[in-house]
Structure 1
Amino acid sequence: MRPAYPRPGRTGFRRWVPSWRQVLGLLGAGFGTIVAAVGILYVLTDIPTDLNASATQQDNVYYWADGTEMARTGEVNRQDTSLDKVPEKVRWAAVAAENETFYTDSGISPRGITRAITKMIGGGDTQGGSTITQQYVKNAYLNQQQTLTRKLTEMFIAIKLDNKMSKSDILEGYLNTSWYGRGSYGIQRAAHAYYGKDVSQLDPSEGAFLASLLKGAGMYDPALGPKNHERAVERWKWILDRMVVIGKLTPQERAKYTTFPEPKAPPKPAGLTGQVGYLVDTARAYVSAHTDVSDADFDLGGFQIHTTFEKPKVDALDKAIVDVREQRLDPEKRDADKNVRIGAASVTTDGRIVALYGGPDYLKQGFNDANSGVVPAGGTFAPFVYAAGLRDGIQRERNGARTPVTPATLYNGDNKAAVRTPEGPYWDRAGKIVKTVNDGGKSWGNISLKEAVVQNVNSPVVQLGMDVGLDRVSRTAVQAGLLEESLGPQVPAFSLGTTRPSAIRLAGAYATFAAQGLHSEPYSVDRLSRNGDAVAVEKPTAERVLPASVAGAVDDALHDVVKRGTGSTAKTAGSDAAGKTGTGPDNKSAWFAGYRGKLVTAISLSRIDPKSQELLPLTGTGGTAPSVTGSTFPIDIWTKYVTAAK
């Protein structure tokens, strides 16, 4: 039925004035249209299946061995935590501050929404009027825009979410996705950022302050100025008082908290500068290789990586290398001092990697020289040849019986001694008999195997390798800890150290001698967790790879190297110091690998052409005479470091 309009029986302007019935009809029709539209929008609005990337991605946090934070990686500083790890009164502080009817409302606040819409109609924004559920929806599913459309969508999702999820799950999600300032998302990271503790250790007073930040960290972080401090104290008091009003804090408990819980000063950002980047990369690689965590899952974040790295030792190693570089290298004046690379690693006898030096600065040189497999081991490989001989004996006749050797067994130590096989002299491809050159061209005559190791005499070591069998020498080196892929070709020069181990691997292998024949694979992650829950990570167990008598004999020789041999300059590090110097083929590398007690450290020196990536000779590096081979840099760095690390 069509209403009569203009109204019959009326004259003048009264014909155009609607009756009260018409007004009510129009209002009813309008209201019905709005209700229908809202109903349609409600039906059409679904809960998103995926959270915002910013609501799911977290940072990964790396820790030093002592538990202090080393670095964070990831785009956001967030760490999720389960609700049961948040103290109950800390939870209630957030509820009292933001939505005290949270546990009884339907996910929305009609009064608050009306107020927000009124502000919008009046030309303001729609901020405010949000329940905890609505705030969680905004954090997790939507964006931070203040528009009517987003507000309505937020409201509809909140209603549906309230029917689908428990209040505990919603509160947990809210606390994990909220912004607390200082670069922190979630209450777990906020607890660390403001109080340097785990969320489980917060008291109600600290929880009340953190709850005040939910209103706007930029307004309530006391570190940002006196006005902020004043606002923070006022809101902190108000939240504690509200907790009393709603029965979640007794007056007696409230009386305990009269002093504002001053948060700590904002920490300096933990970055990847200096050595930290190399440490993070090493630990990250260990997680990838020794856990079931996929790279994609790891990149989503939320992991706490507790490493084996000890900051005092990392700092001491870095300082020792920097001091030697600055004091003895002058690349502006000497070409031989350019493109110098130093790699170093400290590994304990139980396999823990406690220090690395990967380069001058991770942000300037991303390549990790501590894990580089391009620097020939030189004389530091001799102990593996020696160990193989002591364990497996020698075979000088083809298919003949193997006979044992001892540290006192004599070998020819003359310069340019011909290398022999069971069939006679060893001939190279050019048709020449291979002869071994000793350092400085010195001939030693008959010399014991132990003394050959102590004095770094090449000819006995090369011949021993041939007599033992280079395949057995290789096996011994791998069992001790070197990687098979790093081994050099099995020709006589193999025993002179053509193998190219990383500093980490050489230190780990020397740890086998220090541990009397027990080997533990190097590792850099002590434990792993995700959002506080433990994640399984493989850790090595010690395995006997050499008889204690053999390892003991090598250990004895390495101690004598320092006491009276080529490593005597390391004596100042302590009477129990042991180690071995090494110079690579063609004078293209220098090493020192040694230990005191349970701390084993290997240091390499090389020069690498930046264009070809080929090794360059060390001739003249550090201002040495052209006739000098090798370098004292590694042993000097080792001595300085080990002395400081006592």
Structure 2
Amino acid sequence: MGRAEERRARQRGGRRAAPPTRSSGTAAPTRPAGTASVGTVEGGPVEGGRAAARRAAKGKAARGATGKGKDGKSFIRRLFTWKKIVGGFLGVCLLGMGAFVVLYMMIDIPKGNADATLQSNVYKYSDGTLLTRDGKRNREIVPLSKVPKDVQKTFVAAENKTFYKDNGIDLKGTARGLLNTLSGKGAQGGSTITQQYVKNYYLTQNQTVSRKLKELVISLKLDREKSKDYILAGYINTSYYGRGAYGIQAAAQAYYRVDAEKLSVEQGAYLAALLQAPNQYDWAIASDTGRRLVQARWNYVLDNMVGQGWLDKAERDKMTFPKPKAPKAAPGMDGQTGYLVNAANNQLAKQLVAQGSADNVNDALNLVDAGGWTITLNIDKKKQIALEKAAKSQLTSKLDPKKRSVDADVQAGAVSVNPKTGAVVAMYGGKGYYQHYRNNATRVDYQPASTFKPVILAAAFDEAAQTQTGKPITANTMYDGTSKRPVVDNGVKVGFAPQNEDDHDYGPITVQTAMNYSVNSVFAQMGVDVGMAKVLKVASQLGMDTADLRAVPAQTLGTMGASPLQMAGVYATLDNHGKKVTPSIIKSVESSRRTVDLPNPIGGQVIKREAADSVTSVLTGVVDDGTAKTSVRDNANRDGRKVAGKTGTSDENRSAWFSGYTPDLVTTVGLFGESKKNGAQVSMYKAGGYPRVNGGGFPAQIWAAYMFGVSQTGLKFDLETDQGAAVQPTYTPTVSQSPTQTPSQTPSSQAPTSQSPSQTPTQTPTQSPSQTPTQSPSQSPTGTPTNGNIDNPLNPNGQQ
């Protein structure tokens, strides 16, 4: 017997004959067949049997202690046998099937839900007076027979290739949606056309487990009771396509000015592609990314049609993308009303997504457009009228496209914000909602240019940054303002040498003077001194979208995209002593179907108060002794108001800005060169008869005409700082200054001059200030420093 058998025999308590002992060298005597030997256990001696019994008892005790049975299996393994696991799984499946059968029997196909009932939205000014009603739903139901067969197939190819074969549901996609809902991730697609129609017409957009189960049951029943054509017709007639168009007929008119029966396959594929993201994919307002995405989706639709045998490949290869026509505004939305309504709707939609009432902005806009909302805006009626009047008197009335074709390409946008509440009290979106569909106040595709420079300075102050030579950056720190001076980081040229406006060399100047005259070379070096990553971090904290920006020195010139709404928020945060201001156009929202909790527009401290107040102090110098002095400082209506602000003019004069504020109000004005022919960005040279549209020109003039009529007088900036022009003024403003000065921009039909009109006044003031400044300017723009070396990493000793 081998060792294994011997071991098993001992475990059985000696029931097998023990092997012979090695000491004897002989085998133990065996018992004759048929006889029993007294005092032995299966051939073993009595003593051996007792020992085996004792070992058996010990084994039993050990098994009790370890939880293992006689076969060595653990208690857990005996509890969860494969039979029990399979049986449990089958039991759960049977229970689930039973529960589903019960649901199937209990749930019937309902009538159209409340969201499918047409209702009006009511929009009010901040004082409760009526702004407008948006109650005419742009929808016309058409039978499927009025839609070309090939166009019908584009929607199937886009959303649900197996539509004609499936039973109305996608179990895998529904299961994924349920799991996402339970885990709080929201839906991630996977629904069939039937399920989407059921969600849109019979149920709601709310993402709950009960709603998804109802969707599943109703989709199964609807697929059994109704034809595929009935379901497809309902789907394309109830879906939202953007531009306020519901249903394929309204969409065909909105995008191509034709009836649905006249749509081509190419046009149908675009409308089918739109359903995934109507606002993002609308060609008229889409970003470059949005246009690429919708073209990719359009190709996806047509390729699917080829794959399904619904479209000949040779015919498909000849097709080109059908760009839609320019949009027309909905009735009753003329003037600035349409801009205000759309801005409010977009903010409400984002909040619905944030609080979990919808999965994405498109679904949320469907909820808003379903009607039944009373939305009170923060818009102050008097301020709104004043802003519109200022834009007309200072800009649109001076543009004449018949004399200068470039005048037709000038677009303006403006936003005015209360820095203490975050309320958007006035908004100018453009010439009119009928004339220009896109809201210039919220568009983010133009560069903010030098209005970004205060963000760099805020980062320097907040981070207590130093120059390359180890000097703290303050308003009086000296920099080299030479145009095209290479930017240096730790003694190494970074390959960036920006040109100042008109290639002007300022030489050694203070930070204050550099801000006053918007010197690119100084702020490019300062951005590197602070660290561009830190600059972008502060920009984000102040309210700019920097998620996709690279931390490179070129960003110091304000080369990213930004909207007047965003820049108004940045400057409102500075005016609010560093507490975050997120501009809000909505004051309150009421609905009979859901509650909306609006966040507080005023947030926490995002940069130190002293840093924000120091920037404000410096920005008063831009108004009193810089690029905005003619339009703002010398305005006859200023009436002693304290003002801080910054001008900005982008490369190729494609945009011009003025962002400024008084202690009680912040306003940003932007001008944008947009081709009337194709919407491309173009230069504004010679617009209005001026060589160049500077931020100190039209934008600052609009700002002053509006702000000096609505902001309070007698207020002062409550600043906690010991630096900047407000503390050491370079100019003392006076009410008695002659208003008859020649403006800094002189009308001309000539090309841009080599000297910036905003840099040097064309005429000396005819009357001296009523009070002599208590301190001389800290540094002349082109003078020699009097208080230390300049910060020039290429010449650290300040030698000329």
Structure number having the greater helix percentage: 1
Q: In the alignment, is the contact (CA less than 8 A) between 1:63 and 1:71 conserved in 2?
A: yes
Distance 2:331 2:679 in 1: 32
* Structure with larger Rg: 2
Q: Tell me by how many angstroms 1:324 deviates.
A: 2.2
1:323 aligns with 2:393: yes
Q: In the alignment, is the contact (CA less than 8 A) between 1:488 and 1:500 conserved in 2?
A: no
Q: In the alignment, is the contact (CA less than 8 A) between 1:70 and 1:270 conserved in 2?
A: no
Q: In structure 2, do the counterparts of structure 1 residues 374 and 326 end up closer, same or farther at CA, with 3 Å as the change threshold? A: same
Q: Tell me by how many angstroms 1:58 deviates.
A: 1.6
Q: Which amino acid in structure 2 is aligned with residue 469 of structure 1?
A: G
Q: Tell me by how many angstroms 1:481 deviates.
A: 1.1
Q: Which amino acid in structure 2 is aligned with residue 645 of structure 1?
A: V
Q: In structure 2, do the counterparts of structure 1 residues 367 and 289 end up closer, same or farther at CA, with 3 Å as the change threshold? A: same
Distance 1:422 1:396 in 2: 10
Distance 1:419 1:390 in 2: 20
Q: Tell me by how many angstroms 1:396 deviates.
A: 6.3
| Counterpart in the other structure of 1:639 | 704
Distance 2:685 2:567 in 1: 24
Q: In structure 2, do the counterparts of structure 1 residues 495 and 586 end up closer, same or farther at CA, with 3 Å as the change threshold? A: same
Deviations 1:257-281 (A, max 9, x none): xxxxxxxxxxxx9931110111111
User: Which of 457, 464, 470 is residue 519 of structure 2 equivalent to?
Assistant: 457
Q: In structure 2, do the counterparts of structure 1 residues 391 and 278 end up closer, same or farther at CA, with 3 Å as the change threshold? A: same
Q: In structure 2, do the counterparts of structure 1 residues 575 and 643 end up closer, same or farther at CA, with 3 Å as the change threshold? A: closer
1:445 aligns with 2:445: no
Q: In structure 2, do the counterparts of structure 1 residues 297 and 496 end up closer, same or farther at CA, with 3 Å as the change threshold? A: closer
| Counterpart in the other structure of 1:412 | 480
| Counterpart in the other structure of 1:74 | 135
Distance 1:613 1:56 in 2: 37
| Counterpart in the other structure of 1:361 | 432
Deviations 1:341-381 (A, max 9, x none): 11111111131111111111112221111001112111111
How many residue pairs were aligned?
398
Q: Which amino acid in structure 1 is aligned with residue 341 of structure 2?
A: V
| Counterpart in the other structure of 2:619 | 558
Q: Which amino acid in structure 1 is aligned with residue 454 of structure 2?
A: P
| Counterpart in the other structure of 1:578 | 644
User: Which of 345, 348, 371 is residue 301 of structure 1 equivalent to?
Assistant: 371
Deviations 1:102-160 (A, max 9, x none): xxxxxxxxxxxxxxxxxxxxxxxxxxxxxxxxxxxxxxxxxxxxxxxxxxxxxxxxxxx
Higher relative contact order (CA 8 A, sep 6+): 1
| Counterpart in the other structure of 2:123 | 62
1:424 aligns with 2:492: yes
* Secondary structure, aligned partner of 1:371: coil
Q: In structure 2, do the counterparts of structure 1 residues 55 and 593 end up closer, same or farther at CA, with 3 Å as the change threshold? A: closer
Q: In the alignment, is the contact (CA less than 8 A) between 1:379 and 1:456 conserved in 2?
A: yes
| Counterpart in the other structure of 2:600 | 539
Q: TM-score, normalised by structure 2?
A: 0.47
Q: Tell me by how many angstroms 1:402 deviates.
A: 7.7
Q: In structure 2, do the counterparts of structure 1 residues 298 and 327 end up closer, same or farther at CA, with 3 Å as the change threshold? A: closer
Deviations 1:389-440 (A, max 9, x none): 112144667xxx986322211111122222112142222xxxxxx3232223
Deviations 1:299-334 (A, max 9, x none): 332211111111111111111111223442111111
Aligned-residue identity in percent: 33
* Secondary structure, aligned partner of 1:411: strand
Distance 2:409 2:395 in 1: 12
Q: Which amino acid in structure 1 is aligned with residue 502 of structure 2?
A: G
* Secondary structure, aligned partner of 1:338: helix
Distance 1:441 1:281 in 2: 42
* Secondary structure, aligned partner of 2:642: coil
Q: In the alignment, is the contact (CA less than 8 A) between 1:54 and 1:76 conserved in 2?
A: no
User: Which of 550, 554, 573 is residue 512 of structure 1 equivalent to?
Assistant: 573
User: Which of 395, 414, 425 is residue 344 of structure 1 equivalent to?
Assistant: 414
Q: In structure 2, do the counterparts of structure 1 residues 561 and 466 end up closer, same or farther at CA, with 3 Å as the change threshold? A: same
Q: In the alignment, is the contact (CA less than 8 A) between 1:303 and 1:529 conserved in 2?
A: yes
Q: Tell me by how many angstroms 1:297 deviates.
A: 3.3
Most deviating of 403-412 and 595-604 = 403-412
Q: In structure 2, do the counterparts of structure 1 residues 629 and 275 end up closer, same or farther at CA, with 3 Å as the change threshold? A: closer
Distance 1:436 1:524 in 2: 38
Distance 2:614 2:466 in 1: 21
Q: Tell me by how many angstroms 1:523 deviates.
A: 1.2
| Counterpart in the other structure of 1:115 | none
Q: TM-score, normalised by structure 1?
A: 0.58
1:606 aligns with 2:672: yes
Q: In the alignment, is the contact (CA less than 8 A) between 2:345 and 2:368 conserved in 1?
A: no
Q: Tell me by how many angstroms 1:615 deviates.
A: 1.7
Q: Tell me by how many angstroms 1:531 deviates.
A: 4.0
Deviations 1:465-522 (A, max 9, x none): 011111111111111111125x755432211111221000000100011111111211
Q: Tell me by how many angstroms 1:451 deviates.
A: 2.0
Q: In the alignment, is the contact (CA less than 8 A) between 1:590 and 1:634 conserved in 2?
A: yes
Q: In structure 2, do the counterparts of structure 1 residues 435 and 315 end up closer, same or farther at CA, with 3 Å as the change threshold? A: same
Residue correspondence of structure 1 range 40-439 to structure 2 within 5 A: 49-50=110-111, 56-75=117-136, 271-291=332-352, 292=355, 293-294=357-358, 295=364, 296-349=366-419, 350-394=421-465, 404-427=472-495, 434-439=496-501
Q: In structure 2, do the counterparts of structure 1 residues 489 and 605 end up closer, same or farther at CA, with 3 Å as the change threshold? A: farther
Q: In the alignment, is the contact (CA less than 8 A) between 2:467 and 2:526 conserved in 1?
A: no
Distance 2:447 2:129 in 1: 36
* Secondary structure, aligned partner of 2:441: helix
* Secondary structure, aligned partner of 1:452: helix
Q: In structure 2, do the counterparts of structure 1 residues 49 and 587 end up closer, same or farther at CA, with 3 Å as the change threshold? A: closer
Q: Tell me by how many angstroms 1:51 deviates.
A: 6.4
User: Which of 689, 695, 716 is residue 623 of structure 1 equivalent to?
Assistant: 689
Q: Which amino acid in structure 2 is aligned with residue 286 of structure 1?
A: Q
Q: Which amino acid in structure 1 is aligned with residue 578 of structure 2?
A: G
Distance 1:491 1:533 in 2: 45
Distance 1:418 1:540 in 2: 41
Distance 1:394 1:548 in 2: 16
Q: Which amino acid in structure 2 is aligned with residue 369 of structure 1?
A: N
Residue segments in structure 1 that go unaligned for 5+ positions in a row:
1-46, 78-268, 428-433
Most deviating of 534-543 and 333-342 = 534-543
Q: In structure 2, do the counterparts of structure 1 residues 270 and 75 end up closer, same or farther at CA, with 3 Å as the change threshold? A: closer
Q: In structure 2, do the counterparts of structure 1 residues 607 and 496 end up closer, same or farther at CA, with 3 Å as the change threshold? A: same
1:474 aligns with 2:539: no
Q: Which amino acid in structure 1 is aligned with residue 535 of structure 2?
A: V
Distance 1:367 1:74 in 2: 21
Q: In the alignment, is the contact (CA less than 8 A) between 2:658 and 2:695 conserved in 1?
A: no
Q: Which amino acid in structure 2 is aligned with residue 439 of structure 1?
A: E
Q: Which amino acid in structure 1 is aligned with residue 472 of structure 2?
A: P
Q: In structure 2, do the counterparts of structure 1 residues 631 and 619 end up closer, same or farther at CA, with 3 Å as the change threshold? A: farther
Q: In the alignment, is the contact (CA less than 8 A) between 2:123 and 2:376 conserved in 1?
A: yes
Q: In the alignment, is the contact (CA less than 8 A) between 2:378 and 2:587 conserved in 1?
A: yes
Deviations 1:520-559 (A, max 9, x none): 2111111111149864333333211111111111000111
Q: In structure 2, do the counterparts of structure 1 residues 369 and 534 end up closer, same or farther at CA, with 3 Å as the change threshold? A: same
Distance 2:517 2:115 in 1: 62
Q: Tell me by how many angstroms 1:622 deviates.
A: 1.2
Q: Which amino acid in structure 2 is aligned with residue 502 of structure 1?
A: S
RMSD (Å) for aligned C-alpha atoms: 2.7
